[in-house]
Amino acid sequence: MVDETNPFEEMMQRFDRAAELLRLDSGLYKVLRNPTREITVYLPVIMDDGRIEIFKGFRVQHNIARGPCKGGIRYSPDVTLDEIKALAAWMTWKCAVVNIPFGGAKGGVVCDPSQLTISELEKVTRRYTAEMIDFIGPEKDVPAPDLNTDEQVMAWMMDTYSMHARHTVTAVVTGKPVGLGGSRGRREATGFGLTVIALEALRILNKAPEETRVVIQGYGNVGGTAALLLHQQGFKVVAVSDIHGGIYHRDGLAIPSITRIADAQKIDRITNAELLELSCDILIPAATENQLTSKNADRVRAKIVLEGANGPTTHVADEIFEEKNILVIPDILANAGGVTVSYFEWVQDRYGYFWKDQEVRERLTEVMKMSFGDVLNYAQMHQVTLRTAAYMLAIDRVAHYTKLRGIYA
């Protein structure tokens, strides 16, 4: 029995289903289901009051068949190795779905950034980078921001790596400040990509944006950006939420005026649980994993679930949605805008030539539209769900390059 709350087991459930349908060679199955490398480090840090604390850090490199590893670093007291392993594998499949030349990786440090001073956060970051120095690099593994990390954390990582290399290496991380080699459009890339996919999904709904009711769980960088962009495209965003709860208005929210949900006036207050069960055309879970499970999936009334977060829907919920004819556009396609523009940043850093906002948006739109079409065609060809199609397409691509390269012995 697969544990719905275990992200690695959840990812493997999807992988196994796709591998079975592809009739994947048993040897390749063993290669692709296991990570290339798992790294655990213990980071001694001198805190501001002089005491020494030890922080535990991880980096999992899942696959390098198609290029250097790529994946974010998260800081959270809830980080586990199983979570990092699952997210690293998801990155492999995500990069393959949008056909960019990276493999997957993920990292994390067990800490609560809200309880650290800026000085302590910098020390944790620099020590983590120093411990990982032999395993990361522009040709090896390129980290990026994730949960509770940002441009500043990436700047510290880039500087630490550069100090050891004795020259500036901007391409070692992505998601940096623009002045340090970051790409324009990176911060809003995931939300922008979701918007492109939402517009593509309207062809399935056969609706205009003005007729389309959208509900968004998570009002951070991804969900907040998607809410604003969808509103600008004419979608009717009727509900949004953050960790403390949500707000709802059946005629649509004035998204540009909502900077903090807690400050919104004269609007119905709802819980996050209630938000997920609202009647709507598109539901975007853009918060954390395991939000749509066996416990609430039968009460979801959306026509489309567009996954902004990684792993928000469990495999049991997927089965319920399939029975209810709810279309799920999976995370490894829907939220791939972030890693796509990270790839653009890596390319720009290596060229030393940077693109304008419009060029980034045009290139991202092209990638997202093409990838949606690829997955939709694969789903129709094999008569499977979009999630299974995305996994099959990704695994097929990675397996193809693994066979071409062969197994080094």
Burial of 221 (0-12, 13-18, 19+ CB in 10 A): middle
34-63: pLDDT as tens digits: 999 999 999 999 999 999 999 999 999 999
pLDDT band at 2 (very low <50, low <70, confident <90, very high): low
- Cα 385 from Cα 406, distance rounded (Å): 31
Task: Give 273-295 pLDDT, tens digit per residue.
Answer: 999 999 999 999 999 888 999 99
How much of the chain exceeds pLDDT 90, in percent?
A: 89
pLDDT tens sequence across 100-119: 999 999 999 999 999 999 99
pLDDT band at 1 (very low <50, low <70, confident <90, very high): low
Q: Would you say 61 and 92 are in contact if contact means Cβ atoms under 8 Å apart?
A: no
106 is known as an active-site residue: yes
Q: Is the backbone of residue 357 left (phi > 0), alpha (psi -120 to 50) or beta?
A: alpha
Taking only the tens place, the pLDDT of each residue in 359-400 is 999 999 999 999 999 999 999 999 999 999 999 999 999 999
Spatial CA neighbour of 357 closest among 156, 183, 98: 183
In angstroms, the CA 331 to CA 328 distance is 9
Looking at residue 293, its amino acid is T
Within the chain, what is the greatest distance between any pair of CA atoms? 67
DSSP 235: -
User: What is the chain's alpha carbon radius of gyration, rounded to the nearest angstrom?
Assistant: 21
Q: Is the dihedral of CA 90, 331, 370, 256 positive or negative?
A: negative
Which tokens hold the place of 400?
């193809």
The pLDDT > 70 percentage for the chain reads: 100
Angle separating helix axes 26-33 and 7-22, nearest 10 degrees: 160
User: Fold match between 29-170 and 189-334?
Assistant: yes
3-state secondary structure of 332: helix
The one catalytic residue among 70, 85, 94, 106: 106
| Res. 264: pLDDT tops 80 | no
Question: To which residue do tokens 């690293």 refer?
Answer: 88
Q: In degrees, to the nearest 5, what angle opens at C-alpha 287 toward C-alphas 285 and 289?
A: 85
Question: Do 38 and 60 touch, CB atoms closer than 8 A?
Answer: yes
CA–CA gap between residue 307 and residue 395 (Å, rounded): 20
Question: How many whole angstroms separate alpha carbon 63 and alpha carbon 93?
Answer: 10
Structure tokens that stand for 54 in this block: 């030890």
Tell which CATH classification among 3.30.420.40, 3.90.1150.10, 3.40.50.300, 3.40.50.10860 matches the domain 29-170.
Answer: 3.40.50.10860
pLDDT of residue 4: 80
Domain 189-334: assigned CATH number: 3.40.50.720
Backbone φ/ψ region at 401: left (φ over 0), alpha (ψ -120 to 50), beta: alpha
Locate the domains of the chain by residue range: 29-170, 189-334
Q: Is 296 exposed, middle or buried (0-12, 13-18, 19+ CB in 10 A)?
A: middle
Task: Write out the DSSP string of 61-87.
Answer: E---TTSSEEEEEEEETT--HHHHHHH
Q: Note the pLDDT tens digit of each residue in 164-220.
A: 999 999 999 999 999 999 999 999 999 999 999 999 999 888 999 999 999 999 998
pLDDT at 93: 96
Q: What are phi and psi of 139, to 5 degrees?
A: -100, 0
Cα–Cα distance, 130 to 161 (Å, whole number): 7
By three-state DSSP, how is residue 90 classified?
helix
Q: How far apart are the first and last CA of the chain?
A: 36
Q: pTM for the complete prediction?
A: 0.93
